[in-house]
Amino acid sequence: MTRISQTTRLEKVEHIVGSGSGLLDFAVKGENGYDTWEGNEDADWTVEDVDSVQNVEEDRYIMYPEGDYFICEIEADTEERNSGPVRCWCE
C-alpha cells in the first residue's frame, strides 16, 4: 500500500475501494496493492462514470468504472486528513 501525500494523477485505475470515513484505495493496473488517499469525513471527492458498486464489508464498497479504467486527479498535502478535491472519471 502506498500513501498518497502529494497532488497526483492516477491513470488506469481498475477499481476504487471507498469508505464512509473518507478513505479511498485506488487499484492501478500493473501495481501490487493500493494507492491510498486518506481524507477527512467532509472531504471533497467525486467519482463519475461508475458502472457498479459492490459492498465489501460494513462501510467499505468497491466502485467499478463504466469504461476500462478510471482516471483520477487527487489533491493531497499530507498522508492523513486531506480535504481534496479528488475527481475520478472515465474517458
CA distances from 25 to 17, 19, 22 (A): 5, 9, 10
Q: How many CB atoms lie within 10 A of CB 44?
A: 13
34-42 mean pLDDT:
93
When divided into structural domains, the chain yields a total of 1
| pLDDT category of residue 41 using cuts at 50, 70 and 90 | confident
Question: Could you tell me the residue range of the domain that residue 17 belongs to?
Answer: 2-89
pLDDT at 61 over 90: yes
Dmax over Cα atoms in the chain, in whole Å?
Answer: 31
**Separation between Cα atoms, residue 5 and residue 61, nearest integer Å:** 23
